[in-house]
C-alpha cells in the first residue's frame, strides 16, 4: 500500500519505519526541511534505541522516503496517518493547530478512496473536525479513522512491532477493511470501534497508568509513615494478575511528553462536558506533590541549600531516552538552583537537551564527576547502569556520603553496608 505519515516525531518516525519494514511504500512528510535533510542522510532526529539504524537502511533501500512537500506526499497515498504533536495549551487543553494544519494540507491533494487516520493523541471529536476541514476544500470521497498509538519512548520499535492491541476507530466498512489489512502481519488483539471511542481509549489508557503511579506514590508516602517497604508492597500487590506488576514503581512522579499532558487534557475535556473527574484531578495533584516531597527530603537532610554541592544522576524523564520534556529531574534541579545549591549532573543521553532548558547547569561527562566533593548525590532517572556504578569509589570522593534515591533504584541494604546515609521513597 502507499502510506503517508505526517510528522516525524516519535510516533510518526517509528510508525513509518514499521510500515516500511512490513513492505509498504512509505512517505514521511515533515514540514521542517532541516529534519528532512537529516533524515535523508540517515541521521537520527532523537535518541531511540535501534531506530536510526533501521530508518537509514529503509531510506537507502527506497522503502521510506522523507518529503517536505504536501503535494508529493499526499497525491498517491491510500492511507494517511496524522502523527503531529498535540502539545498542551496553558489551560491544559490539547493544542490542535498542527492537526488542523495537516488537515488543510491533506485537503488540497487527497485522492479518491483514501483513509485519513489520526495517530496523535487527540480529544474526542477531533476526527470529525478534521473530516469537515478536508471536506470544505475537497470533493473526493475519503474516510476518517482513529488509530491511537501506544508505543513508549525507549522501547518504541519493540512496542510497535509487538503491540498488545491495535485500536481501529472507524465509521465505514471500507476504512475498517483497509486498516485491518494494513495491520494484518502484526500480533495483538484488534479492537474495532467507532471514532470517538477510539479517541478516548488512548486518554483512558494513559490516565489509568498515571493513576497507578500516583497510587503507588501515595502508598509509598504512607509506608514511610508506618515504617513499611513500598517495593515489597508493590510486589505483593502486583503478583495479583488483576492488578499487574507494571507501573507500580514509586518515585518522584511521572513526567514526559505524554502523561502530564494527557491527564490535563482529559481533565479539561471532562470539564468541557460538565463532568467533574475527581479521581483524575487527584492523580495530577499527587504527581506534583511527589516532587515537593522529594525536595523536602533534600532540605531535611541538608538544611540550607545555599552553597551546597549537589551531584545529580539522571536528567531524562525516564531511562533509555534523551527526552527531558516535563522531566521531574529538571523541575527538581531548577528548585535546587533557585535555593542557591551548586548542581553538577550526569545523564547518559539527555545532557545536551537538559542544557537547552537550564543553560547554567553544569553537566558532567562521566558519572563519577558528580561525586567530587558532593554533599549529596540525587538519583532522579531510573537508568539501570546507575546500579552498577563503583559506589565504593564514589563514597571516597564525596564530602558527605549521602544518597537520596528518588527512583528506588539502588539496593538499600548494599548502600547501607557500604556506609552511605541512604534515603529513598517509601522504604
Q: What does the binding site for ligand UGA look like in residue numbers (CB under 6 A)? A: 121, 149-153, 206, 209, 213, 247-249, 251, 254-256, 258-259, 317-318, 382
Q: How far is CA 14 from the centre of its chain?
A: 13
Residue position matching grid coordinates 516532587: 291
Q: How many residues does the structure list for the chain?
A: 427
Spatial distance between the Cα atoms of 180 and 186, rounded to a whole number of angstroms: 10
CB 353 within 8 A of CB 324: yes
For the CB of residue 217, give the shortest distance to ligand UGA in the complex, in Å: 8
> In whole angstroms, how close is the CB of 318 to ligand UGA at the nearest point?
4
Each as own residue / partner, the long-range contacts of residues 92-96 (CB below 8 Å, 24 or more positions apart, any chain) are 92/264, 92/265, 92/267, 92/268, 93/123, 93/265, 93/268, 93/269, 94/121, 94/122, 94/123, 94/261, 94/265, 96/122, 96/123, 96/126, 96/129
Residues carrying an active site annotation: 258
As measured in angstroms, the least distance from the Cβ of 328 to ligand UGA is: 7
- Sign of the Cα torsion 400, 401, 407, 412 reads negative
**CA separation for the pair 297, 11 (Å, rounded):** 37
- Rounded Cα distance between 12 and 25, Å, is 15
Which of 168, 150, 171 lies closest to 159, judged by CA?
A: 150
Amino acid at each position: 500500500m502507499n502510506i503517508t505519515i505526517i510528522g516525524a516525531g516519535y510516533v510518526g518516525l517509528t510508525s513509518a519505519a514499521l510500515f516500511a519494514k512490513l513492505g509498504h511504500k512509505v512517505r514521511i512528510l515533515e514540514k521542517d526541511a532541516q529534519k528532512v535533510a537529516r533524515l535523508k542522510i540517515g541521521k537520527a532526529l532523537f535518541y531511540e534505541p535501534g531506530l536510526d539504524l533501521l530508518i537509514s537502511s529503509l531510506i537507502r533501500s527506497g522503502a521510506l522516503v522523507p518529503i517536505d512537500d504536501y503535494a508529493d506526499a499526499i497525491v498517491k497515498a491510500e492511507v494517511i496517518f496524522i502523527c503531529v504533536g498535540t502539545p498542551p495549551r496553558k489551560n491544559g487543553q490539547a493544542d490542535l493547530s498542527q492537526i488542523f494544519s495537516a488537515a488543510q494540507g491533506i485537503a488540497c491533494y487527497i485522492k479518491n478512496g483514501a483513509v485519513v487516520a489520526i495517530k496523535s493523541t487527540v480529544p474526542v471529536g477531533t476526527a470529525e473536525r478534521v473530516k469537515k476541514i478536508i471536506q470544505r476544500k475537497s470533493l473526493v470521497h475519503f474516510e476518517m479513522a482513529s488509530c491511537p498509538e501506544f508505543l513508549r519512548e525507549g522501547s518504541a520499535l519493540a512496542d510497535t512491532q509487538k503491540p498488545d492491541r491495535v485500536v481501529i476507530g472507524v465509521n465505514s466498512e471500507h476504512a475498517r477493511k483497509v486498516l485491518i489489512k494494513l495491520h494484518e502481519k502484526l500480533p495483538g488483539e484488534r479492537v474495532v470501534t467507532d471514532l470517538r471511542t477510539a479517541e478516548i481509549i488512548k486518554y483512558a489508557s494513559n490516565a489509568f497508568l498515571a493513576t497507578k503511579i500516583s497510587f503507588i506514590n501515595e502508598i509509598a508516602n504512607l509506608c514511610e509513615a508506618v515504617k513499611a517497604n513500598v517495593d515489597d508492597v508493590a510486589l505483593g500487590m502486583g503478583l495479583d494478575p488483576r492488578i499487574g506488576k507494571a507501573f507500580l514503581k514509586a518515585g518522584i512522579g511521572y513526567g514526559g511528553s505524554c502523561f502530564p499532558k494527557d491527564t490535563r487534557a482529559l481533565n479539561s475535556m471532562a470539564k468541557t462536558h460538565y463532568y467533574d473527574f475527581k479521581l483524575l484531578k487527584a492523580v495530577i495533584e499527587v504527581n506534583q506533590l511527589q516532587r515537593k516531597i522529594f525536595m523536602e527530603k533534600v532540605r531535611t537532610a541538608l538544611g540550607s541549600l545555599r552553597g551546597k554541592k549537589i551531584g545529580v544522576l539522571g536528567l531524562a524523564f525516564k531511562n533509555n531516552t534523551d527526552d527531558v520534556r516535563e522531566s521531574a529531574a529538571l523541575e527538581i534541579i531548577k528548585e535546587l538552583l533557585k535555593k542557591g545549591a551548586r548542581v553538577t549532573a550526569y545523564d547518559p543521553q539527555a545532557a545536551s537537551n537538559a542544557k537547552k532548558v537550564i543553560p547554567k547547569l553544569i553537566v558532567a561527562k562521566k558519572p563519577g564527576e558528580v561525586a567530587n566533593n558532593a554533599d549529596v548525590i540525587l538519583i532522579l532517572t531510573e537508568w539501570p547502569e546507575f546500579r552498577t556504578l563503583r559506589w565504593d569509589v564514589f563514597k571516597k570522593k564525596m564530602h558527605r556520603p549521602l544518597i537520596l534515591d528518588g527512583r528506588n533504584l539502588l539496593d538499600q541494604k548494599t548502600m547501607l553496608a557500604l556506609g552511605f546515609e541512604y534515603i529513598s521513597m517509601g522504604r
